[in-house]
Amino acid sequence: MTGMTRRERIEVLVDAPLVPKLAALATEAGITGHTLWRVTGGTGSGGIWTEDLLSGATAKSLFLVIASAERADRFIAALEPLLDSHQLIVMRSSVEVVRPERF
């Protein structure tokens, strides 16, 4: 079996206009890449929401990074000032990856 290495997976549910800011914070934390998923709706503490396709006012993305624990810590610390003001949802989990040099 191929050797596996532990890394941290961070997912952030974010308003689409804030994605460039998250990308900059990730880069500053030493994270070299990210993946975006368009999110079309969901249910949470504020009730049901769906993307407003006409204006894009409620457009959301899921911002995903995989990084070492140290870089993940730096990224999450950089997100803290935005948690309340931008209602970010941040999830962190440990994963095992092949080719750890990519993360």
Q: Give the pLDDT confidence score for residue 102 in this predicted structure.
A: 86
Query: Could you tell me if 96 and 102 are in contact, meaning their C-beta atoms sit under 8 angstroms apart?
Result: no
Beta-carbon contacts of 25 under 8 Å, excluding residues fewer than 6 positions away, are 75, 78, 79
Count of domains observed in the chain: 1
Q: How much is the CA Rg of the chain, to the nearest whole Å? A: 15
Q: Mind listing the pLDDT tens digit for each residue in 28-78? A: 999 999 999 999 888 888 788 777 666 656 689 999 999 999 999 999 999
**Is residue 12 one of the residues assigned to a domain?**
yes
**Is residue 58 one of the residues assigned to a domain?**
yes
| Domain housing 46 | 5-87
Q: Report pTM.
A: 0.88
Give CA separation, 97 vs 3, 32, 74, in Å. 9, 16, 20
CA distance 18 to 87: 11
Structure tokens belonging to residue 47: 């009730």
**Is residue 99 one of the residues assigned to a domain?**
no
CATH of the domain at 78: 3.30.70.120
